[in-house]
Amino acid sequence: MQIWAIGLVAVLACVNFLVGLAEPHGAIWDESYYLTSTERYAEGRAQFASHPPLGLMLIAAGDLALHPNRSIDTRILGRDKYADGKIIPVGFSFEGVRLASGLFAVLGAMTFFALMYVITQSTFVALVFSNLFTFENAFVTQFRAAQLDAFQMAFAIAALLFFVLALRRGRQSSVLWEIGLGAACGLAIMVKVNAVILLQLCAMLVVHRAALDWGEAPRAHLLWIAARQAMSMAAACLLTMIVIFAIHVRVSAHNLDSTSLAGQKDQRFLSREYREYLQGQRSLSPRVLWDAAEDYQSFMEADFDSTPMADLNSSDPLGWPLERGTINYRWDSDGTHTAYVQLVGNRASWILAFLAPFAVFALLMLQRSRPGQPTDPVRHALMKMLLLEYVAFMLLHCYLGSYRVMYLYHYFIGLLLAFTMLPLVFQEIMARWPDIRRWETQSLAGITALVLISFIFYAPLSFHRPLTHEQCEVRNVFQHVVSCR
């Protein structure tokens, strides 16, 4: 892998995800919630939230590092779970709370390039397919805001990278990659719980390795090796989660503010042991961590149960691959021009991602019907397992959608899986039909052009750039993605 290539990806990602983070000056979507948790972390106060604490701590760490509001009294933000625009202090800068999300988006782009390189073994091809992440409009919109998804996506990409590296070793043990895979899964779960679906990667890796020698080696020996590998990944995942939660408890060691609405909401879930720790009557111990974790889980379960089934911005998981459910996060108008922050995808990338699972399925069926054709066994194993992971992801979120409201950004891990299938489909087509291989460079150039043109077309909606009503309506020419003001 060429250093200049990953440097190029980093520069492009910095431009898209980091430049101008202070704009717009108002809250974007769930920032109204995360501003409040950031303030409580700054005060060192204990708190519970709708999601595990890792993403919230990272947002707070970014704000602490930049500290753009040091001259402003922000204490009012921590007194409730939601910061209405009326209580956000005048002159408040959002650059600090958005910093960590943007940085992790850049790290995610670089890791995605590494994943594409490990899959394709070609710097040029990896650069082409890395554009799917770097120039994804929905990622730009979401990751430039103080939201949790950039963190989860960076860890999910790392999990896929470790998974592919371990798979490429075939029968050979790869403790480092297995531990990395388990730890990356744990980190992703500690941002949002729906990343639990990534644990299927660990299970598939263990089963695949055992299947390679199933008819040749003693089965008891294979089962022992499989159990050892599974335990190493599970231990890495669990230990990572424990460490993250222990850090959360340690940096939030001050008692709840019982005079605030936020403290009163959290008070109902506080156990005696955890309360005594916060009051300085107990030291930090495994028992305190256990009780604090149970309290946090109880809050999350109650929040899940109280979440509505649908709202005006919700969407059906079955419509996600077709980009159904775009969301207007905010709009600002001067009477002639309107600037939007719109969750809208790169149309070219999403069409390719929609086709990817079907193409993988068709190529796998073709290989079954024509087994004599030359093929790469590692590539085919990856295609099978990523397709299974994608199907499992969709089934899980269809199930979750029957209990709570779901939004388009909940599809991001699924979109990532589809993006990861695309270079496999491309390489399989080139290997199976040699005549098409003559058009490889032209095909890659065409993909790049389509992705970049589509990105530029929708960029004003991602970067909060002013548009006239007519310019806005042009963005609906291929599919309705924004209600123009």
* Angle value at C-alpha 348, between 5 and 164, nearest 5 degrees: 50
Sheet of 338-343, strands arranged across: 327-333, 338-343, 466-467
Which one, of 161, 172, 156, lies nearest residue 208 by Cα?
Answer: 172
Q: Domain residues of the chain, as ranges?
A: 3-74+84-306, 317-474
pLDDT average per 10 residues of sequence, the chain (485 residues): 90 96 91 94 94 97 94 91 88 94 98 96 95 97 96 98 92 87 98 97 91 73 84 96 97 91 93 93 93 95 87 92 95 92 96 97 88 77 97 96 93 98 94 86 94 97 95 94 92
pLDDT at 305: 85
Listed in sequence order, the DSSP H helices in 121-189 are 123-134, 137-143, 149-168, 175-189
Instruction: Give the β-pairing of 327-333 and 338-343.
Output: antiparallel
Specify whether the CB–CB gap between 309 and 276 falls below 8 A.
no
**According to the model, what pLDDT value does residue 35 have?**
93
CB 410 within 8 A of CB 397: yes
For residue 163 the two structure tokens come to: 């998974």
Q: Which residue has the tokens 């959360």?
A: 248
Q: Which residues lie closer than 8 Å to 36 by C-beta, 6 or more apart?
A: 77, 78, 79, 80, 81, 82, 83, 262
Please tell me the pTM assigned to this model.
Answer: 0.95
Where does residue 223 fall: left (phi above 0), alpha (psi -120 to 50 degrees), or beta otherwise?
alpha
* 340: its two tokens: 């939007």
Determine the pLDDT at residue 372. Answer: 60
Which residue type is seen at 317?
Answer: P
Query: According to the model, what pLDDT value does residue 485 have?
Result: 86
Inter-CA distances, 163 with 104, 238, 239, 413, 440, Å = 20, 18, 19, 15, 27
Q: Which of 107, 118, 130 is nearest to 164 (CA)?
A: 118
